[in-house]
Amino acid sequence: MKMIDKLLAQFAYASVTSDGKYYTVAVPKEKLHETASRLRNSALAFDFLMDIVGMDYGDSLGTIYYLSCTQFPAYVIALKTETDDREDPIIPSVSDIWESAGLYEREVHDFLGIRFANNPDMRRLFLRKDWKGYPLRKDYDANPEINPVPLTNENLDDMETVPVIEIHNGLKEEKTYSLFEKGEYVVNFGPQHPATHGVLHLRVSLDGEIIRKIDPNFGYIHRGIEKMSEAYTYPQILHLIDRMDYLSGTIHRHGLCLAVEKGLQLEVPERAHYIRTIIDELTRIASHLLGWGCMAMDMGAITAFVYGMRDREKIMDIFEETCGGRLMANYSVIGGVMNDIHPNFQRKVKEFIPYMRKMLKEHHLLFTGNPIARGRMKDVGYLSKEKAIALGASGPTGRASGWSNDVRKIEPYAAYRHAEFNEILRSDGLTFDRYIIRLDEIAESLKIIEQLIDNIPGGAYAAKTKAIIKLPEGEFHQRVEGARGEFDVYIHSKGDKYPYRVKFRSPSMTLVSALKAIATGTKVADLIMLGGSLDYVVPCIDR
Amino acid sequence: MFHFDVVTNWIDEFLRTYLLDGWALFIEFVVIGLVILTVYAVLALILIYAERKICAFIQCRLGPTRVGPFGVLQSVADMIKILLKELIKINRVDTFLFRLAAFLVIIASICTFGALPFDKGLHVVDFNIGVFYLLAISSLGVVGILLAGWSSNNKYTVIGAMRSGAQLISYELSCGLSLMTIVMLSGSLQLSTIVEQQDYAWNIFRGGIPAVIAFMIYLIAGHAETNRGPFDLPEAESELTAGYHTEYSGIQFGFFYLAEYLNMFIIAAIAATLFLGGWMPLHIPGWESFNEVMNYIPPILWFFGKTFFCIFLALWVRWTMPRLRIDQLLNLEWKILMPLSLINIVLMALWVIYL
């Protein structure tokens, strides 16, 4: 009997089903907190909460907690719970067990109206406080007369007031508190600000130059992609997914394709796998180049930004030829890729590899060795490995802290099993590590591309699919490694051509809570630089 | 050598032959004022164009190319645009101080500009305390910046103004001390005397190692004085949107913008005057024919050549380096540059006494 089976056998009250390395554990909501803390504290510590999916099953509301264990990262547990109360659903919070749950629970609260007892912050996350109804409930009324376009700004005092619901020994207590005290010097960084990488609203309490508190507010570019997806067919959803994290949109799109293909049990031609992998890695390079440049620009070095953009342009040109699009490549489709590669594709990519290697040296020369840049990044923004896991700060940020979390290694998808590459890990977790890891990953991506580009197998570039794609009934979960962290797709299908529920794990959202953790106590200039070093993309947070 | 004092003296005599002394002086004042303002504006346009082209060169771009040949008229077009822009009235600002601030900044800048010796006889006043005057009047600008930040009723501008106050007042010290080193060498505060003394060896050669150190310190501190490059914390685009001038629009913003560029010119011009011989051509003792050839280049070109060399250094640094953090900025001044300047003054004293 494997360790995980032993562990799960302890929960007599839970119904456990298994599908290879994926385990589903359904527990009643009274037992949720106990089960969660035992899973977290067992020998097989499930310390990484990947995502919380809020569900409306029709007659009941529920949550699904996707858990992973950093020691044996291939094991994934979906911990499920439900509540029948649709009027005032309350589920115990797990934010004391996993720090990242705080924001996820707020998101579920915002969309489904479930309140989490003992979560220290039960404000809505994306929608305004005065929004009526909960959009992801199936009985939600989307009539614009109920929620007209507001003509006034949201009251800042309202944004500070935090409602909390606490349950101790069966006694329910509701209260509110204010995030900032009277007389605190609170500065708004954003929603319109040159360095928040999108419309992120950080309310920052300052003491001179020193940051005391940070309160991130989301939702300024919230488009309700998850809600829209419920009315769209699968090929249509593909177009929305590019618009979330526009810098690694191709990778995320790949993730959705893989999830749907998993559901259809569709055999994708090997050629498509290779092409997708190469395009993914090119996207990763482009995204890291922009991330590198933006971080440098946040620190005041505008030239470095232009250098990054210049090299990114080469990749954009390759995309334009093969995919038609530049930023939104629109390339992966269900069953393969949209078109075959352009005749110039292989030649151009092969030209690009030595060019980029040369330019990487230049980037190091320009910025990595610069004494001011080194001085700025020294000793600032320490994120320990434990904290990174607790916050779910995956991707390069987590790897800079020494957390091995590369999905390409954990669950090799597409053609990654055919390429030899290293997962870049650093141990210090400082700003400099998060900076240098991106340049190192560019070099590693080049290695992957180099191995694959000459070996693209022949054959069809896409499998034949039916005109109308209907997913069989069930739940499908797919993880891919986006440019700034793990991107998960969760699809709940009822056998229709529309999904019943779609949830995307945003890697950027957890990065903002990491910003909150590492920037407190630093200076204003550091806040901006740390934001650049985490490299979040706001449309991905807001979805 | 062709000096401009021939022209200026001729104008002076011409006016005095036809007018009473008082009227002649009055007309001269008006003419000088107009000339200074024109040169100030034209130089700003040239500098903006130069910066855009040099920055584009460093960043592998082309820079402005559309307006006029090689885009030379781009900054003229920008100037016209900025003149036509609306002056936005902002709610709940201290209107008087808000308006005054832009003027203070530009007045300080123009007053400093007027005292520069462009050529022999081509300066407005030749004070016997010229260096002191330059230092005193150029530090008035910080009052304008502080007022701008304070009166805008905006949290970003206040942070920008506080940073600016801390930065300018700190770097004023090293700036002043490094200039004092040269004053010790030449024994005079009068700019014309200082330039004349550099006839056969510019101060940077004459003063040996202490002068070279002083020149370096002056370039760093002076660069910090202009709020540019790695020292642009008061504006810190990525942190404070535009720092102390966030709320300004139209020509009031234009005043800050002009002053910033001209301050860069002024700092470079002072560096050229005190360290690199001002309008004095490069003379090497003993090489008479070489000196003769050098004399054919008009002194005003020498002055602008040296100044633009210093400006180029400033631009190069600005477009290469990331920004410092406030504590690093103040550490650099109070823990490195200031003690170094003080030691350097002692060094210069020893140099002057024993060599």
CATH number at residue A82: 3.30.460.80
Q: Do A528 and B238 touch (CB under 8 A)?
A: yes
- The answer to whether residue A406 scores a pLDDT higher than 70 is yes
Does residue A526 belong to any structural domain of this protein?
Answer: no
Partner-chain contact B326 A523, CB within 8 Å: yes
The residue written with tokens 């802290």 in the block is A401
Write out pLDDT tens, residues A251-268. 888 888 988 888 888 888
Cβ contact (<8 Å) for B155 and A301? Answer: no
From the list B318, B192, B320, the residue with the least C-alpha distance to B261 is B318
pLDDT tens-digit map of A308-334: 888 999 999 988 888 888 888 888 888
**Is the same domain home to A344 and A243?**
yes
What pLDDT sits at residue A164?
Answer: 83
ipTM: 0.81
Residue scoring higher pLDDT (B85 or B3): B85
Does A356 reside within a domain? yes
A-chain CB neighbours of B319 within 8 Å are 302-303
Give the B window 106-135 contacts with A, CB below 8 Å: none
- Looking at residue A220, its pLDDT comes to 87
- In chain A, residues with a C-beta closer than 8 Å to the C-beta of B153 are none
Based on the domain organization, do A174 and A258 belong to the same domain?
no
Residue of chain A whose Cα is closest to the Cα of B158: A208
Amino acid letter for position B132 = F
Query: In terms of DSSP bridges, do strands A210-217 and A201-207 run parallel, antiparallel, or are they unpaired?
Result: antiparallel
Query: Out of A193, A307, A376, whose CB is closest to B325?
Result: A376
CATH (domain of A304): 1.10.645.10
Chain A residues closer than 8 Å to B155 by CB? 185, 187-188
Low-confidence winner among A68-72, A191-195, A334-338, B108-112 (lowest mean pLDDT): A191-195
Contacts 24+ apart (CB under 8 A), A130-138: A134/A110, A135/A111, A135/A224, A135/A227, A136/A54, A136/A56, A136/A111, A136/A112, A136/A226, A136/A227, A136/A501, A137/A56, A137/A61, A137/A111, A137/A112, A137/A113, A138/A56, A138/A58
| Cα–Cα distance measured from residue A535 to residue A508, given in angstroms and rounded to the nearest whole number | 8
Q: What type of residue is A235?
A: P
Which of B325, B332, B336 best probes binding to A when mutated, by most A CB atoms within 10 angstroms?
Answer: B325
Tokens 């933006």 correspond to what residue? A294
Q: Do residues A242 and A374 both lie within one domain? A: yes
Per the CB < 8 Å rule, is A528 touching B60?
A: no
Q: Provide the angle, in degrees to the nearest 10, between the axes of the packed helices A270-298 and A249-264.
A: 150
- Does A194 reach chain B within 8 Å, measured CB to CB? yes
The answer to whether the Cβ–Cβ distance between A524 and B241 falls below 8 Å is no
Cβ–Cβ gap B239/A303 under 8 Å: no
Residue contact A370–B238, C-beta within 8 A = no
Q: pLDDT of B53-80, one tens digit each?
A: 988 988 888 888 888 888 888 888 988 8
Q: How many domains does one find in chain A? A: 2
Q: Flag if B327 and A524 touch (Cβ within 8 Å).
A: no
Percent of residues, chain B, with pLDDT higher than 90 = 3
Chain B residues whose beta carbon lies within 8 Å of the beta carbon of residue A298: 238
What is the predicted pLDDT for the residue at A455? 86
Q: Tally Cβ neighbours within 10 Å of residue A363.
A: 20
Q: Name which of A180, A189, A207, A306 to mutate to probe chain B: the one with the most chain B Cβ atoms within 10 A of its Cβ.
A: A306
Residues A372, B58: C-beta atoms closer than 8 Å: no
Residues A488 and A353 in one domain: yes
A347 and A493 assigned to the same domain: yes
CB contact under 8 A, A524 and B159: yes
Q: Which helix (H) or strand (E) holds A16?
A: strand A15-19
Sign of CA dihedral B47, B50, B55, B58: negative
Q: Measured between alpha carbons, how far is A389 from A387 in angstroms, rounded to an integer?
A: 5
In a domain, A191, yes or no: no
CB B223 within 8 A of CB B229: yes
Query: Residue A40: pLDDT above 70?
Result: yes
**B343 — pLDDT class (breaks 50, 70, 90):** very high
| Chain B contact for A309 (CB, 8 A cutoff) | no
> Alpha-carbon distance A124 to A111, whole Å?
8
Chain segment A88-141, per-residue pLDDT in tens: 888 888 888 888 888 899 889 988 888 888 888 888 888 888 888 888 888 888
Q: Mark whether A174 and A229 lie in a shared domain.
A: no
Domain membership of residue A212 (yes or no) is no
Between A297, A376, A526, which is nearest B238 by CB? Answer: A297
CA nearest neighbour of B77 among B88, B64, B87: B64
Subunit contact B326:A302, Cβ cutoff 8 A: no
- Say if residue A295 is in the same domain as residue A168: no
Q: In the structure encoding, which two tokens stand for residue A464, read together?
A: 């034949």
Asked if residue A369 has pLDDT above 80, the reply is yes
CB A160 within 8 A of CB A184: no
Neighbours of A252 (CB within 10 A): 30
- A195 assigned to some structural domain: no
Q: A147 by DSSP, 3-state: which?
A: coil
Structure tokens at A59: 């007659």
Amino acid present at A89: P
**What residues of chain B lie within 8 A of the CB of A188, using their CB?**
155
Count of residues in chain B: 355
Question: According to DSSP H, which parts of A265-344 are helical?
Answer: 270-298, 302-323
User: Residues near A136 by Cβ (< 8 Å), separated by ≥ 6?
Assistant: A54, A56, A111, A112, A226, A227, A501
* Dist CA B223 CA B257 (whole Å): 16
First to last CA, chain B: 31
Chain B residues closer than 8 Å to A200 by CB = none
User: pLDDT tens-digit profile of A452-473?
Assistant: 888 888 888 888 888 888 888 8
CA distances from B160 to A121, B236, B264, B340 (A): 33, 8, 19, 28
pLDDT digits (tens, 9 = 90+) for A297-310: 888 888 888 898 88
pLDDT in tens, A342-357: 888 888 898 999 999 9
Sign, CA torsion B33/B38/B39/B41? positive
In angstroms, rounded to a whole number, what is the distance separating the alpha carbons of residues B263 and B311? 10
Task: Please indicate, yes or no, whether residues A170 and A260 belong to a single structural domain of this protein.
Answer: no
First-residue to last-residue Cα distance in chain A: 41
Q: What is the pLDDT of residue A132?
A: 85
Secondary structure (3-state) at A480: strand
Q: How many CB atoms lie within 10 A of CB A143?
A: 10
CA count, 13 A, side-chain hemisphere, A6 = 6
Q: Determine the angle formed by the axes of helices B208-225 and B338-354, rounding to 10 degrees.
A: 150
Contact B167, B229 (CB under 8 A): no
pLDDT band at A155 (very low <50, low <70, confident <90, very high): confident
- Cβ proximity of A113 and A63 under 8 Å: no
Most confident among A68-72, A280-284, B7-11, B25-29 (mean pLDDT): A280-284
Closest CA to A509 of A132, A158, A52: A52
A307 touches B at CB < 8 Å? yes
**Bigger pLDDT: B208 vs B339:** B339
Residue among B238, B321, B328 whose CB faces A194 most closely? B238
Task: Look up the domain containing A89 and give its range.
Answer: 3-150+158-179
Q: Is B232 on the interface with A (CB under 8 A)?
A: yes
Question: Averaged over A24-28, what is the pLDDT?
Answer: 85
B236 lies within 8 A of chain A by CB: yes
A217 assigned to some structural domain: no
Cβ atoms within 10 Å of B54's Cβ, excluding its own: 17
Residues A239 and A164 in one domain: no
Cβ distance of B159 and A370 shorter than 8 Å: no
The whole-angstrom distance between A198's CA and the closest CA on chain B is: 13
> What confidence score (pLDDT) does residue B1 get?
67
Same domain (yes/no): A164, A26: yes
Asked whether the beta carbons of residue B58 and residue A303 sit closer than 8 angstroms, the reply is: yes
One-letter amino acid identity for B336? Answer: I
* CA distance to partner chain B, nearest, from residue A471 (Å): 46
In angstroms, the separation between the Cα of residue A344 and the nearest Cα of chain B is 26
Give a yes or no: residue A22 inside a domain.
yes
Residue of A187, A206, A296 lying closest to B322 (CB–CB): A296
* 3-class DSSP state of A410: helix
Distance CA B344, CA A76 (A): 67
CA A298 to chain centre: 22
Name the residue among A296, A300, A375 with its Cβ closest to that of B328. Answer: A375
Q: Are A167 and A117 in contact (CB under 8 A)?
A: yes
Q: Please indicate if any CB of chain B lies within 8 Å of the CB of A373.
A: yes
Distance CA A31, CA A407 (A): 31
Amino acid in position A503: K
Best mutation target, B162, B164, B238, to test chain A (most A CBs within 10 A) = B238
How is residue A129 written in tokens? 């406080």
CB contact under 8 A, A185 and B155: yes
A175 plus A233 within the same structural domain: no
- Minimal-distance CA residue of chain B relative to A530: B239
> Is the per-residue pLDDT at A1 higher than 70?
no
What is the pTM (predicted TM-score) of this model?
0.87
CB contact B155 to A (< 8 Å): yes
Chain A partners of B327 at a C-beta cutoff of 8 Å? 209, 523
